[in-house]
């Protein structure tokens, strides 16, 4: 019996651009021309709907808001009839922001981008969307494949032993493929979260590694409290993305403390937890994290925002993230014994902004996050060594964190490298190279502190 082939089609990934202004379409095509996906354009919502009735594999639909006859929000809403799994994005001017927010709720739009757009932000947003669509499509393809083969197995003649054995072997192989793919999908999902977090950190040195520190500290505390692994992952995700709603805010607002803002600027700033929840709500897996993000600026005494919750009304994960967020912001203002100074500063806010029940746990774990760089008994030169990217091997352990050329955190100190880590680093450094060496531990050495 011949083993059944992979009969579920693989299709070419397409990005559909919709705008009534030819110069905008041309600019978008120039920006995306080096990407591997196919680009299709339409000059109106009506033309785009006609194309969608014929196209397959449309991963991303990027539409302008203001167009005659049918605006972008209405078009994207109607596009769900033809391409329900496509990722929808809206280009909008500043004056259309309120309409765009409504469109996010009504039209299944995953995000909106302001005009004029930032080339880097738009390109990364499209890449992430295409990758997310491709992962979803591939998962569905493999599941359909296994389903078809299982059905054929049920129809086989049980007396044809050789045929059964051959097909069973094929199914085992496909099930292993599916298992590996699901594992890869989970890893890709975590990479997607890290990429979202990196968007926030690109604002400048003040934001560098903030999300990673908040996530590390939050998970340490959540683990010590005995929270379930799934709940810890939700907290980790929310901590990585807790400031994503600040994307698009003026640096006049994001680069100063909230206490220094004017009344109007503070009102705008106080909306960022809601914006963050709206941005990630279309992704079902992120909705629990969205609830924690919405409430991470609530205060224990009820004087926070946006919903003025108090005490146990605030979700536990949000209270943990709020404590870690304030701790890291305090640490950035300290020198010397950073951990102790940050703890003293946050103690002032215990019972006011912060949950008193968490104080002991944060005193236990803060030192592990803000320890100085590790040193080794034999001295720096005997404890670690520099290697080139091409010389990295699975099993090596990082002696220092790795950053891209633009300062984005890629891997934490203490990570033991696998083949996937090394492959990812090669891709990142092709896009964002650095002259900094990669430092690994010599055999038999360990890093100080607790790693997450």
Average pLDDT over all residues of the chain: 82
Structural domain boundaries of the chain? Answer: 14-121, 129-190, 204-369, 380-441
Identity of the highest mean pLDDT range in 9-13, 133-137, 304-308, 338-342? 304-308
Q: In what order do the strands lie in the sheet with 109-114?
A: 38-42, 14-18, 58-64, 87-92, 109-114
pLDDT reading at 388 higher than 60: yes
Q: Read off the DSSP letter of residue 436.
A: S
Architecture of domain 14-121 in this structure:
3-Layer(aba) Sandwich (3.40)
What are the pLDDT digits (tens) for 300-326? 999 999 999 999 999 999 999 999 999
Q: Are strands 402-403 and 409-411 parallel, antiparallel or unpaired?
A: antiparallel
| CA–CA dist 391, 194 (Å, integer) | 25
Query: Is it true that domain 204-369 has CATH number 1.20.5.440?
Result: no
- Residue 433, sorted as left (phi over 0), alpha (psi -120 to 50) or beta, turns out to be beta
Nearest to 383 by CA among 441, 436, 451: 441
Q: Alpha carbon of 73 to those of 79, 91, 356: distances in Å? A: 10, 10, 46
Q: Minimum mean pLDDT among 33-37, 62-66, 92-96: which range? A: 92-96
Q: CA-based angle 367:368:374, to the nearest 5?
A: 110
- Report, as an integer, the average pLDDT of 181-186: 65
What are the pLDDT digits (tens) for 125-174? 999 989 988 888 888 888 888 887 777 776 666 666 677 677 778 788 87
With pLDDT > 70 as the criterion, what percentage of the chain qualifies? 80
pLDDT at residue 381 in the model: 44
pLDDT at residue 104 in the model: 63
What are the pLDDT digits (tens) for 344-372? 999 999 999 999 999 999 999 888 787 65
What are the pLDDT digits (tens) for 71-123? 888 999 899 999 988 999 988 875 566 666 666 666 678 888 888 899 999 99
pLDDT reading at 3 higher than 60: no
Nearest to 305 by CA among 354, 272, 344: 272
Is 89 strand, coil or helix? strand
| CA–CA dist 354, 376 (Å, integer) | 37
pLDDT reading at 287 higher than 90: yes
Assign 219 a pLDDT band (cuts: 50, 70, 90): very high
pLDDT reading at 11 higher than 80: no
Nearest to 318 by CA among 412, 220, 234: 234
Higher pLDDT, 18 or 400: 18
Topology annotation, domain 380-441: Molybdopterin biosynthesis moea protein, domain 2 (3.90.105)
């Amino acid at each position: 019996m011949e083993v059944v082939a992979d009969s579920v089609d693989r299709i070419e990934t397409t990005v559909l651009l919709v705008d009534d202004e030819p110069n905008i379409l041309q600019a978008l095509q120039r920006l995306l021309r080096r990407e591997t996906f196919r680009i299709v354009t339409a000059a109106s919502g009506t033309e785009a709907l006609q194309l969608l009735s014929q196209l397959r594999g449309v991963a991303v639909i990027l539409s302008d808001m203001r167009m005659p006859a049918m605006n972008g929000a209405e078009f994207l809403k109607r596009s769900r009839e033809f391409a329900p799994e496509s990722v929808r994005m809206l280009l909008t001017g500043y004056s259309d922001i309120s309409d765009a927010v409504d469109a996010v709720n009504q039209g299944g739009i995953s995000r909106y981008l302001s005009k004029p757009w930032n080339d880097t932000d738009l390109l990364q947003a499209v890449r992430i969307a295409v990758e997310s669509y491709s992962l979803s499509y591939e998962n569905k393809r493999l599941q359909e494949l296994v389903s078809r083969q299982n059905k054929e197995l049920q129809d086989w003649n049980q007396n044809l032993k050789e045929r059964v054995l051959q097909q069973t072997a094929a199914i085992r192989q496909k099930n292993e493929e599916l298992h590996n793919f699901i594992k890869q999908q989970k890893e890709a999902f975590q990479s997607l979260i890290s990429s979202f977090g990196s968007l926030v950190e690109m604002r400048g040195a003040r934001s560098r590694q903030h999300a990673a520190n908040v996530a590390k500290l939050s998970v340490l505390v959540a683990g010590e409290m005995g929270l379930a692994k799934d709940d810890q992952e939700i907290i980790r995700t929310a901590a990585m993305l807790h400031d994503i709603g600040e994307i698009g805010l003026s640096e006049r607002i994001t680069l100063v403390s909230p206490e220094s803002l004017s009344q109007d600027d503070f009102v705008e700033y106080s909306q960022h937890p809601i914006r963050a929840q709206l941005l990630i709500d279309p992704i079902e897996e992120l909705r629990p994290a969205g609830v924690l993000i919405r409430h991470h600026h609530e205060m224990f005494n009820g004087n926070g925002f946006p919903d003025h919750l108090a005490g146990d009304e605030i979700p536990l994960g949000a209270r943990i993230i709020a404590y870690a967020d304030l701790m890291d912001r305090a640490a950035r203002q300290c020198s010397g014994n950073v951990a102790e100074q940050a703890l003293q500063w946050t103690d002032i806010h215990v019972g006011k902004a912060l949950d008193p029940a968490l104080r002991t746990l944060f005193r236990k774990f803060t030192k592990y996050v803000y320890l100085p760089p590790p040193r080794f008994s034999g001295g720096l030169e005997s404890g670690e060594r520099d290697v080139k990217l091409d010389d990295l091997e699975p099993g090596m352990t990082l002696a220092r964190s790795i950053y891209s050329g633009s300062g984005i955190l890629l891997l934490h100190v203490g990570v033991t490298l696998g083949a996937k880590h090394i492959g990812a680093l090669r891709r990142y450094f092709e896009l964002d190279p650095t002259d900094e060496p990669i430092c690994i531990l010599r055999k038999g050495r360990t890093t100080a502190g607790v790693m997450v």
